[in-house]
Structure 1
């Protein structure tokens, strides 16, 4: 059972059984496809394909169909990969009623994009743009128009470059955080219990992934003392460019402006993240969605008023 070949055969068998269940669930009905290109750990291009359809009890469902290795990400190559996957599971392209991709030109191009090539074979396969992708890009673009936000996220990227480029630095951060947790537990500053004080890292935020910026900001806040300790140690190691970068980052990291923006982004992202999660629930209706939007606007307005702003400012000052 621990033989590598046997394990691959078991995994392959599980995949085939799972896919068989998906095809039976589809039951020769019409379907839509969701596709995106990516690269694996060996930097080889691949295409991920999902099916979207309405099951027997009238519920819209999404099911992962498979991955296909591709030589490149041109629209023609991606179309051939999709057709090969569909033919493999005997899914006729004539049953295709929708297609959803991101906004890359090779995907949604009006002349030679994947959308256009698919519609030549199946005119009923209407294209639907990924709205979550579009909305996230809009929010990021608007935030970068603000000088303070642009300054903050620029230094956040610098921080991730300084601390996340080697296993040595990641290990230093984990050790520093473990030392901080032990001391905090001794002092009674944090509670011990199942599921508490889990190990965390510094994930790089992505412009098209929901919650990624919020997650990065939360982790930086939680790891703040440990990050400061690691930057101090890196800055004292030598006079190399890396040490100078760590010293520069430490000065920025300790500044009130960085701490203030860190807290402000955490507060705002917290409100918008709750709204985003609520709006993406499958049982959400338009009336409740409008109420949730209004509630989020009220929360943001309270933050701008004197009482809410003074409380927030005091919390930022105490953190420093």
Structure 2
């Protein structure tokens, strides 16, 4: 666990906000109590009084932010003035995770990106065979990844869809692992070559690019709370506008990519499964 303290440095008539990294702590017990105990012990070892604490902030794990057993609640029990502030950037990440996981197409799309990453990351031979063809260094695992990594991964796919498909076909033809070869061929022929997948790629590229810009800005050293709120409100406004007005632009861009990849720019027709009617049903 990383521990950092922020404090006021008084110099003549000036007050300067300073921030110091105190160190890494070995943690065996990751419960709220365990993390609190080791943090409290570390602060005391530096001669810092808990009564002087006027704020605390962490990533938004339940063991840290929990209002009953979390670290912040245990510090508040000692010093009620040590107000807790959640990490704004982490809140944004969590909001986007919930948003994507509530959408079936969103989950399927990021599952598709993760499958591509897994195929190449699990084999050095496979990776080296294809790295000259496609810049896969920019692909990241999406398991518990921050959204900056997701933005990089989607960008790597979106800007190199033709090369991605060719790379997957090479794996399908040449790889000795039958399961991997079959999965790579299926991804190349059914997913990457699917117009709906192209549309999803364009949409998520635009969304994640804007989110990533805002995320970096609110992480900046000189960011103030009122400016951060303004940035977030602009992002919300962008989402609303994009939902209402941008779909036609997405289709145009997806069709341009489809022409480059020589695939049909139409959405696949879904087969409707109908239940047979009984003789007495109208």
**TM-score, normalised via structure 2 length:** 0.74
Aligned to 1:317: 258
Aligned to 1:232: 169
Aligned in 2, Cα 1:293/1:151: closer, same or farther, shift over 3 Å?
closer
**Aligned-partner SS, 1:254:** coil
Task: Give me the CA root mean square deviation.
Answer: 3.2
Superposition deviation, residue 203 in structure 1: 1.0
| Per-residue CA distance 1:201-232 (angstroms, 9 max, x = gap) | 31123667242221111122244344333322
Aligned to 2:206: 267
Point out where structure 2 has 5 or more consecutive residues left out of the alignment. Answer: 262-282
Superposition deviation, residue 69 in structure 1: 0.8
Point out where structure 1 has 5 or more consecutive residues left out of the alignment. Answer: 1-46, 179-198
More displaced 10-residue stretch of structure 1: 151-160 or 55-64 = 55-64
Contact 1:173–1:226, Cα closer than 8 Å, also in 2: no
**Aligned-partner SS, 1:176:** coil
Tell whether 2:34 aligns with 1:68. Answer: no
Tell whether 2:195 aligns with 1:256. Answer: yes
Aligned in 2, Cα 1:163/1:49: closer, same or farther, shift over 3 Å?
same
Aligned in 2, Cα 1:274/1:54: closer, same or farther, shift over 3 Å?
same
Contact 1:136–1:208, Cα closer than 8 Å, also in 2: no
Give the distance between the partners of 2:76 and 2:186, measured in 1 at CA: 54
Aligned to 2:88: 131
The structure, 1 or 2, with the larger RCO (C-alpha pairs under 8 Å, 6+ apart) is 2
**Could you tell me which of 130, 138, 159 is aligned with 1:201?**
138
Superposition deviation, residue 173 in structure 1: 3.1
Give the distance between the partners of 2:239 and 2:69, measured in 1 at CA: 42
| Per-residue CA distance 1:112-170 (angstroms, 9 max, x = gap) | 32222223333322222223222321222123323322221121122222222233333
**Could you tell me which of 109, 127, 145 is aligned with 2:66?**
109
